[in-house]
Structure 1
Amino acid sequence: MIITNVQLVLEDEVVNGSLEVENGIIRAMSDSSSYQPGAVDGNQGWLMPGLIEQHTDNLEKYFTPRPKVSWPAFSAMAAHDAQLIGAGITTVLDAIAVGDVRDGGHRQDNLDKMINTIVQSGERGLNRAEHFVHIRCELPHETTVDLAKLYLDLDQTHMVSLMDHSPGQRQFVNLTKYYEYYQGKYNLNDEEMAAFEQDQREKSAIWSDLNRRAIASLCHERNIPLASHDDATRAHVEESRALGLVLAEFPTTVEAAQRSHELGLKVMMGAPNVVRGGSHSGNVAAHELASLGVLDALSSDYFPGSLLDAVFRLADDERNALDLASATCLATRNPASALSFSDRGIIKEGMRADLLLVERHYEQPYVQQVWRQGHRVF
């Protein structure tokens, strides 16, 4: 296959040209157009590496599209997969929470079903994107370590994150935001919310530190990359570094992001934060970290289409030094590096032909075609 008349988004520049794919691998590139019969005409769109998503809980929305509604597993997986590939995401780590048993228990009920469906749909060749598992460990719970152990030896488990959503901690240092979020999420009145807060504080005091150390040790034994989540202080970051973590998911302050970057943890922020212009939790804005040069990666988090959108918005933003090539690396090369994927993430001879063709209309990027390992999947 030859794709021609495109703007190739390379690791450090964008060039006009064409690209040749053979057996799922990028075999050659040229800074001129091809006139071979059958070549795909990109109409001067951008040809980009397939996006790599490290942390999305989007699958849960399909398994439980409404409260107390359980959707058939492979139907849910197919719809989730189609949404991701339509957003240009060719490699995804589906984030599955262990230790979080609220939402009427649906996360607990769905845990095995979701992970088994990710594994089986991949083994049967049913998915358009390539799916792996990201185990999100809610630390303040007595079941978290035992549940995590059930999934750490899966070949598909490529990442583990350590999180504590307790009041006064990390994402919810601001208790007003904590109350707004959880009363809205669980429809709790003030009395119920006060009891919930007290329960979460007690569980955090008992379990968080014990579980953090235990899970980190288990992951190091298996060479599974570890991520922090919502670090807010230098102390949080230094604890993360001491435990051998490699990725800082969604730091909530400039201080935490800068210290993470200094210590070699890749700083990942939510693409929705970029698109919306700030954090929905009242924490640091991603564009501020980009302007400081300490933003290393992006995640679509809860909205798959935000990832590509955020890349272009950051490239347009005069408050930072990112051009389109370097902004693209936040969703391709840098995540691949954090996850030790050496075969994808950049357009280069010898790399996998995971590619997307993008056009832009009225400032909005639109995915036109997607290929995974040279096969068109969108």
Structure 2
Amino acid sequence: MDTYTSQPTPLAGLTGRRVLGADGIGAATLPFDGGRIATGRSAGACLDAGDLLVLPGIVDIHGDAFERAVMPRPGVSFPYQAALFDVDRQLLAHGITTELHGVTLSWEGGLRGEAYALRMFDALERQRPFFGASHFVHLRFESYHLTGIDTALDWMASGKVKLLAINDHLPGMARRLGDELKVVQYADRAECDSDTFRSRLRQASQHAAEVPAAMARLIAGARAAGLPVASHDDPDRATRQHYHRQGCAIAEFPLTVETAQMARQLGNDTVFGAPNVMRGGSHTGAPDATEMVSAGLCTVLASDYYYPAPLQAAFHLARLGVASLPAAWDLVSRNPARAAGLRDRGTLAPGLRADAILVDDSVPGFPRVCATIVGGVLRHATQGFGLAAPQPARAAA
């Protein structure tokens, strides 16, 4: 059942026998007040989670699966408002209470061009009253798109962006220009023909010497706006050190173990894909995310291109014995919230947002979200829940 209404009624609190708190999983009661977790006695009856696991809502620092809702087939696009409404329901069903959508601004154009990004910003603003989850933009800026620098700076200064990531996919695309099938795929996404796509790539590549200074300017603009900054697909230690010196404290999908090691030595967060964990490895030959978690080289898992992945990956890591469930859950909630500068969420603690999910983990390997609470409001539920009489706050024990 979908519990959304245009005027949702806040819950007075949440109680359960298996709540993940600062000291682990145990019985706890969480009073809500003004969309946050409070202290003292709840103002009314609390939703009773019973034996379901109560976990902090997932904070997804990088997800671009919305692109499939907007353009489900190459060259076939749909309005953002309807697409994002569907995406919002997917997020809630998979326990994601905060999503940072990976919106790309690239020299490619089409789906990853300025016009589509503007549609995204407009739709997010229009749909905000109808969303259940919290939606933000993670701007993925392609480094060779020099004509887009001022646009990106304006977006960041105006508050449209929550996180900036520097991407550099042009060299990899250039190496595939002889693969006609791949070029057609690129061109379809860019809404042009193959020859036009090749022309755009070659034109962008002519300005390679200007890229470092342009990226330094963009990063400085992000930092001035108070935004966290990531570099994407760092290929080596030198690249990570370079971006770290400029204030990029997040290494997003480092391409080698040595790069991830350098990032952690520098105190940077390291982001890997939750689908990588689920699949038992990367589909692009990047480091195995499960091994990175085991080695202490992964601090954040993101949905990347598949919204169900963070929930499933955390439980998979716990089932394998790679990490305890609380430690695995930090990778999809507490740590990404901290990395993204969202200090008001990520754990179930007094003063923080009342973002929580109720999970049925009775079938090994198949956790299912039964309810999702965002800002103290029940936004998604697959079953009915009883109410418990008003109770004093009680931490997990």
Question: Structure 1-normalised TM-score?
Answer: 0.86
Report what 2:308 is aligned to. Answer: 305
Q: Shift of the alpha carbon at 1:10?
A: 2.2
Report what 1:88 is aligned to. Answer: 95
Of the three residues 366, 369, 375, the one matched with 2:368 is 366
In structure 2, distance between residues paired with 1:106 and 1:149:
17
Count of aligned positions: 363
In structure 2, distance between residues paired with 1:304 and 1:25:
25
In structure 2, distance between residues paired with 1:194 and 1:68:
14
Instruction: For 2:267, give the aligned amino acid.
Output: G
Q: Shift of the alpha carbon at 1:368?
A: 0.4
Q: Where do 5+ consecutive residues of structure 1 fail to align? A: none
Q: Shift of the alpha carbon at 1:58?
A: 2.2
Report what 2:152 is aligned to. Answer: 148
The residue correspondences of 1:27-106 to structure 2 (distance < 5 A) are 27-28=38-39, 38-102=45-109, 104=110
Structure 1 residue matching 2:90: 3-state secondary structure: helix
Residue 81 to residue 280, structure 1, CA distance change in 2 (3 Å): same
1:46-93 per-residue CA deviation (whole Å, 9 max, x = no partner) reads: 101111111111222222222222312321121111111111111111
The residue correspondences of 1:215-234 to structure 2 (distance < 5 A) are 215-234=218-237
Q: Shift of the alpha carbon at 1:259?
A: 0.5
The residue correspondences of 1:1-378 to structure 2 (distance < 5 A) are 1-28=12-39, 38-102=45-109, 104=110, 107-122=113-128, 125-167=129-171, 182-183=182-183, 185-186=185-186, 199=202, 202-203=205-206, 205-318=208-321, 320=322, 322-360=323-361, 361-378=363-380
In structure 2, distance between residues paired with 1:45 and 1:162:
40
Q: Shift of the alpha carbon at 1:193?
A: 12
> Would the aligned equivalents of 1:359 and 1:368 in 2 still touch at CA under 8 Å?
yes
> Would the aligned equivalents of 1:73 and 1:117 in 2 still touch at CA under 8 Å?
yes
Instruction: For 1:92, give the aligned amino acid.
Output: E
In structure 2, distance between residues paired with 1:368 and 1:198:
46
> Would the aligned equivalents of 2:13 and 2:376 in 1 still touch at CA under 8 Å?
no
Report what 2:5 is aligned to. Answer: none
Q: Shift of the alpha carbon at 1:246?
A: 1.5
Residue 29 to residue 239, structure 1, CA distance change in 2 (3 Å): farther
> Would the aligned equivalents of 1:260 and 1:266 in 2 still touch at CA under 8 Å?
yes
> Would the aligned equivalents of 1:141 and 1:207 in 2 still touch at CA under 8 Å?
no
Q: Where do 5+ consecutive residues of structure 2 fail to align? A: 1-11, 189-193, 381-397
Structure 2 residue matching 1:152: 3-state secondary structure: helix
> Would the aligned equivalents of 1:177 and 1:282 in 2 still touch at CA under 8 Å?
no
Instruction: For 1:4, give the aligned amino acid.
Output: T
> Would the aligned equivalents of 1:232 and 1:255 in 2 still touch at CA under 8 Å?
no
Structure 2 residue matching 1:217: 3-state secondary structure: helix
Residue 281 to residue 196, structure 1, CA distance change in 2 (3 Å): farther
Instruction: For 1:212, give the aligned amino acid.
Output: M
In structure 1, distance between residues paired with 2:277 and 2:184:
23
1:203-256 per-residue CA deviation (whole Å, 9 max, x = no partner) reads: 472443233212111112211110010112110110011111111111111001
Residue 197 to residue 132, structure 1, CA distance change in 2 (3 Å): closer
CA RMSD between the two structures: 3.1
Structure 2 residue matching 1:167: 3-state secondary structure: helix
Greater RCO, CA 8 A, separation 6+: 2
In structure 1, distance between residues paired with 2:313 and 2:239:
27
1:172-195 per-residue CA deviation (whole Å, 9 max, x = no partner) reads: 89x68996994573379xx97995
Q: Which moved more, 1:11-20 or 1:282-291?
A: 11-20
> Would the aligned equivalents of 1:159 and 1:224 in 2 still touch at CA under 8 Å?
yes
In structure 2, distance between residues paired with 1:166 and 1:96:
17
In structure 1, distance between residues paired with 2:178 and 2:335:
31
Residue 202 to residue 64, structure 1, CA distance change in 2 (3 Å): same
Q: Shift of the alpha carbon at 1:276?
A: 0.8
In structure 2, distance between residues paired with 1:365 and 1:263:
35
Q: Shift of the alpha carbon at 1:352?
A: 1.2
Residue 28 to residue 238, structure 1, CA distance change in 2 (3 Å): same
> Would the aligned equivalents of 1:17 and 1:29 in 2 still touch at CA under 8 Å?
no
> Would the aligned equivalents of 1:140 and 1:200 in 2 still touch at CA under 8 Å?
no
In structure 1, distance between residues paired with 2:37 and 2:29:
11
> Would the aligned equivalents of 1:63 and 1:73 in 2 still touch at CA under 8 Å?
yes
Q: Shift of the alpha carbon at 1:26?
A: 1.6
In structure 2, distance between residues paired with 1:11 and 1:179:
52
> Would the aligned equivalents of 1:99 and 1:147 in 2 still touch at CA under 8 Å?
no
> Would the aligned equivalents of 1:135 and 1:161 in 2 still touch at CA under 8 Å?
yes
